[in-house]
Amino acid sequence: MSTLLWLVTVLGGIAVAGWVFRFAGQTVTGNAPRFRDMPYGVAFGYVLGVSILAWAIWYYFQPVTTEQGLPNAGVMFFRWGVQGLIIAMIAAYVFRFLGRLIGTANSKKLFRAMPLTAAFGILTIIIYAIFAIFADAIAPYGQEQIFEQANVLPGGDPALGGDPAHPLGTDQIGRDILSRLIYGAQNTVGIAFATTCLAFALGATFGLLAAVLGGWLDQLLSRAVDVLMAIPSLIFALLLMTIASVWASEWGIPLTIFMVVIIAVIDSTRVFRLARAVGVNIVVMDYIEAAKLRGEGMGHLIFREILPNATAPLLAEFGLRFCFVFLTIAALSFLGVGIQPPLADWGTMVRDLAPFINFAAFAPLAAVTPLLAAGAIALLTVAVNFVVDWMLHRSSGLKE
Amino acid sequence: MQNVLKIILQRLALGLLTLLVVSIVIFIAVNLLPGDFAELILGQAATPESVASIRRDLGLDQSMVTRYFSWLGGMVTGDLGTSFAQLNFQTNLGGTGGKTVAEQIAPRFANTMFLASVTAMIAVPLAVTLGILAALYRNTVFDRVANIATLSSISSPEFFMAYILILFLAVLNPIFPSLSNIYEGMTFGEKLEKTMLPALTLTLVVTAHMMRMTRAAIISLLASPYIEMARLKGISPMRVIVKHALPNALAPIINVIALNLAYLITGVVVVEVVFVYPGIGQLFVDSVKIRDIPVVQACCLIFAAAYILLNLMADILSILSNPRLRHPK
């Protein structure tokens, strides 16, 4: 209850300070329009923002060990977070700066109008791609390699239970966590990418086909998609995975392949909707009519006439769809029915390492690894979303 | 009014039809399994006689259509069958009176509804307020920060949010418990305290989406002539938005709130597993792992029904909030 009381006091203080700030501004500047017309809410917002900023700076410079000699984990995590944010901002800024200097005239122009968030997103995606493609060369050990010492803490300091050979420690059966994180980029992102491509191939083909042909095929496909979309996707995926797990053990096919197909089919329904909607608008254009009169075949119509004009919305959808697929796979793996061991995978790693979070107060380093795996998932989806957001903003020409 | 009633009845009928088709899809999907339940239940101990006897008990010797209708009939009257795990327990130990699926699901369903409603109580007012503020102070620092923060929280997986909250609010500063073990006989206050962390996690996830949609719905109206008029009359910006823009933006906002509530019902699965919250999502995942088909089937149908119902509600509410549909020419 004291926490609540404290919170109310602080908020009340800020509320009073907001009023004082506006009044002081009006008096000192002799009723300048900026202060005269300032709504109370804005004044409150300014004071709240400044208070939060001041608190953050004060907290950042708190000592990292308490008086009893225990590590002050909250401050440590906060510092890491702030440092990570600053490094990310600098990296994005440098990347955008380089992009403006190097490259063709077109790419320079692209970089000049790019917001920092989009630059950060593109940089992150490039780094993930490099890790995913060259995982074998970058990772210090194999993903299935088991070492003698299990549960080595991260940090590489023997005094704190670390080991210089394993900078991020080892997991509960002694596999190197750094290597598994790097291989996770290959497995988790690679599988999600393949699934999205499959979902797109299915959804876009059938969607455009339904748009071009119309009639009973369109009706049949659209109603089937309606029914599939009426079942929540994660729930449906879990149900189908239950069934697939029986099949997988019966036929000796890895469960991961079933997962790819199941998620691709479920997600292709969303792609179908969009592709059909976009396609129907394009089909009525004059140039399609002209192509039909020329006697072009179905393949030419779909892939040479319609698809090029539907690229922009489909590309943005690809980014969003990738995020959904990636998060679904991560959630399934986290629940224990997704990507199966011994493949290294971030969702599974989070589940396996999560209990270490409870030791954060005594050994802050122990809690880092599960958060790193979860953060790796979050960072990629955030990056993709930043890029998609920018692309949508650009293509819609929205200024507000 | 006649017309609206007709539209609503049509939507309701369509919703029921969808639910029926979904139940068929779920039933067929489960029946695609190779072998059958009897062998699945008995596993290693399957002798021809025992398989035949269990088949007779479960009615597996009848045709698929008959079984579907008896399953559907059971669903409608609240008889969800007996879980395999419980059945197994009974046959192996000779015990009687195992829990039926309905008995297993009922208390957990109540818990999940409690979690969802606590989340909705926090998330909906918060999201609408923040959305209005973001529309009011668009293109300011506040709007930019809100944009980045909401985009990040939409795109992070639920368990990332959950563990961050556990780290800061349960482990480092023990304000809320990190395990939500709810049992019968707890007072409302205790229950609320235990539900707080999962509710906050879900709030973070759904608020972001609702807030962005509220902001977008209001901003899309700000260019219309009547808003310009209100502005030229000299009304304060806050009043322009709350009195003039908001009522017309209500339909999309209500729609997105209902959709997010539908997401809440199904999105609870991961969050419940993280916090070991005894809800229906947890039961679902556990049953998926041990392939307890009757429970999986029943949970799946309940989730689908909730999802369809809330989507239906979104539809109907947006019809009701649209005067052009209420008074057609």
Asked if residues B75 and B57 have their Cβ atoms less than 8 Å apart, the reply is: no
Which contacts of A105-113 are long-range, i.e. CB under 8 A and separated by 24 or more positions?
Answer: A113/A394
Task: For A45-85, write each residue's pLDDT tens digit.
Answer: 888 889 999 999 998 888 877 777 677 778 888 888 899 99
Task: For A312-339, write each residue's pLDDT tens digit.
Answer: 788 888 888 898 899 989 988 888 887 8
Query: Which residues in chain A touch residue B237, judged by CB atoms under 8 angstroms apart?
Result: 39
The reply to whether A87 falls in a domain is: no
Distance CA B126, CA B134 (A): 12
Please indicate, yes or no, whether residues A221 and A365 belong to a single structural domain of this protein. yes
Please tell me which residue, B57 or A374, carries the higher pLDDT value: A374
Sign for the CA dihedral angle at B317, B319, B322, B328 comes to negative
Query: Which residues in chain A touch residue B234, judged by CB atoms under 8 angstroms apart?
Result: none
The reply to whether A108 falls in a domain is: no
Distance CA A137, CA A228 (A): 42
Asked if residues B19 and B305 have their Cβ atoms less than 8 Å apart, the reply is: yes
pLDDT > 70 in chain A, percent: 96
Tell whether A42 is within 8 A of chain B (Cβ).
Answer: yes
Query: Nearest CA to CA, how far is A73 from chain B (Å)?
Result: 7
Residues of chain B with pLDDT under 70: 1, 33-46, 54-55, 57-61, 78-99, 266, 323-329
Please tell me which residue, B291 or A223, carries the higher pLDDT value: A223
CA angle at B37 for the pair B294 and A264, rounded to the nearest 5°? 70
Report residue A223 as tokens.
């109603």
Distance CA A277, CA A11 (A): 49
Q: How confident is residue A399, by pLDDT bands cut at 50, 70 and 90?
A: very low
> Among A193-207, A255-269, B69-83, which stretch is predicted with the lowest mean pLDDT?
B69-83
Of A245, A350, A367, the CB nearest to B291: A245
Sign for the CA dihedral angle at B173, B178, B180, B181 comes to negative
Report residue A300 as tokens.
């030419």
Residue contact B167–A381, C-beta within 8 A: no
The reply to whether A366 falls in a domain is: yes
Query: Which residues in chain B touch residue A334, judged by CB atoms under 8 angstroms apart?
Result: 157, 159, 270, 273
A-contacting residues in B 30-49 (Cβ below 8 Å): 30, 32-35, 40
At residue B95, the pLDDT reads: 47
Mean pLDDT of chain A: 84
At residue B44, the pLDDT reads: 62
Residue contact A370–B163, C-beta within 8 A: yes
Of A42, A250, A382, the CB nearest to B34: A250
User: What SS3 class is residue B96?
Assistant: coil
At residue A170, the pLDDT reads: 78
Tell whether A47 is within 8 A of chain B (Cβ).
Answer: no
Query: Which residues in chain B touch residue A373, judged by CB atoms under 8 angstroms apart?
Result: none
Asked if residues B146 and B211 have their Cβ atoms less than 8 Å apart, the reply is: yes
The reply to whether A95 falls in a domain is: no
**Residue A308, H or E segment:** none
Query: Which residues in chain A touch residue B142, judged by CB atoms under 8 angstroms apart?
Result: 45, 49
For residue A382, pLDDT beyond 70: yes
Burial of residue B79 (CB within 10 Å: 0-12, 13-18, 19+) is middle
Sign for the CA dihedral angle at A354, A355, A360, A364 comes to negative
The reply to whether A287 falls in a domain is: yes
For residue A290, pLDDT beyond 70: yes
Residue contact B21–A378, C-beta within 8 A: no
For residue A397, pLDDT beyond 60: no
For residue A102, pLDDT beyond 80: yes
- The residue segments making up the domain with residue A221 are 177-396
Asked if residues B220 and B203 have their Cβ atoms less than 8 Å apart, the reply is: no
* Mutation site for A-interface testing, chosen from B23, B33, B155, B240 by largest number of A Cβ within 10 Å: B155
At residue B88, the pLDDT reads: 57
At residue B59, the pLDDT reads: 64
Name the pTM for this structure: 0.85
Report residue A42 as tokens.
């804005």
B-contacting residues in A 316-335 (Cβ below 8 Å): 323, 327, 330-331, 334-335
CA angle at A184 for the pair A183 and A186, rounded to the nearest 5°? 65
Domain count, chain A: 2
For residue A359, pLDDT beyond 70: yes
Distance CA A256, CA A277 (A): 32
DSSP notation for A261-273: HHHHHHHHHHHHH
Distance CA B122, CA B263 (A): 15
Check residue A93 and report its DSSP letter: H
Q: How confident is residue A394, by pLDDT bands cut at 50, 70 and 90?
A: confident
CATH code of the domain covering residue A318: 1.10.3720.10
